[in-house]
Structure 1
Amino acid sequence: MAYYIVAHADVRDIETYRRYAERAEELMVQHGARVLVGGVRGRYVEGNGPKRHSIVVFPDEASADACYMSDAYQEILPLAMRSATRNVVVVNGPDVPELFKTE
């Protein structure tokens, strides 16, 4: 089963957050992830909340955990924490095999 990470953020320091986001995406891809939506602004149709949204899918929970717990990711995580207020949720979801094809 695929493992989706959904993040919502209000960014206070765009330059610092950009440094985090660029490196985070590289690390996630190295761990087999695909970025479906990367830090884009959304439009609320119900309620309100953070302005930027990301959706990343990993092939499985182990890959997502390995990425998050890696020394490289833990090293850049403070950049995100000090430059944005974030909510991050992980959910199991449907497999989408075509996202993980290697050619």
Structure 2
Amino acid sequence: MTAYALAHLAQGAPNADVLEYMERIQTTLDPFGGRFLVHGATVEVREGTWPGALVVIGFPGIAEARAWYDSPAYQDILPLRTRHLAGDLLLVDGVAPGYDPKSLADKLRPQIAA
């Protein structure tokens, strides 16, 4: 099942460290099948607020996402970003093919009926 790394990063001015991070990150993703799905796109906020940028990276599974984040190659470049851009990074499983949110609602309905 596909997994994702989601980052919500504060706006920041470009600097040499962040540019180096951007130049090197893909080589840390390649061994784990990671690829950018959203990066540098304009965020259109329809509800709430969203200060900053959104990054979405897809992986073949959660094990690959964890292995990428924990890899020496990624840990080596991580400070290039974190010293300059505050933010949150999450690893999360996607849903299985054919997922239907109605089935989850059906499972939860007895809890609210009690």
Q: 1:39 to 1:29 in 2, by over 3 A?
A: farther
* 2:8 match: 8
Report deviation, 1:7: 0.7
Q: CA-atom RMSD, angstroms?
A: 1.8
Greater share of residues in strand: 1
Identity percentage of aligned residues: 33
Output the TM-score relative to the length of structure 1: 0.79
Aligned partner letter, 1:10: A
* Equivalent position SS for 1:73: helix
Q: Is the contact made by 2:62 and 2:92 (CA closer than 8 Å) also made in structure 1?
A: no
Show structure 1 runs of 4+ deviating over 6 A: none
**Structure 1: gaps of 5 or more residues:** 97-103
Report deviation, 1:46: 1.4
* 1:86 match: 87
Output the TM-score relative to the length of structure 2: 0.73
Aligned residues, how many? 96
* 1:50 match: 51
Establish whether residue 27 from structure 1 lines up as the match of residue 47 from structure 2: no
Q: 1:11 to 1:79 in 2, by over 3 A?
A: farther
**Structure 2: gaps of 5 or more residues:** 98-114
Larger radius of gyration: 2
* Equivalent position SS for 2:86: strand
Q: How far, CA to CA, are the matches of 1:50 and 1:87 in structure 2?
A: 12
* Equivalent position SS for 1:55: strand
Select the structure with the greater relative contact order (CA < 8 A; seq sep ≥ 6): 1
Q: What does residue range 56-75 of structure 1 map to in structure 2 within 5 Å?
A: 56-75=57-76
Q: Is the contact made by 1:24 and 1:73 (CA closer than 8 Å) also made in structure 2?
A: yes
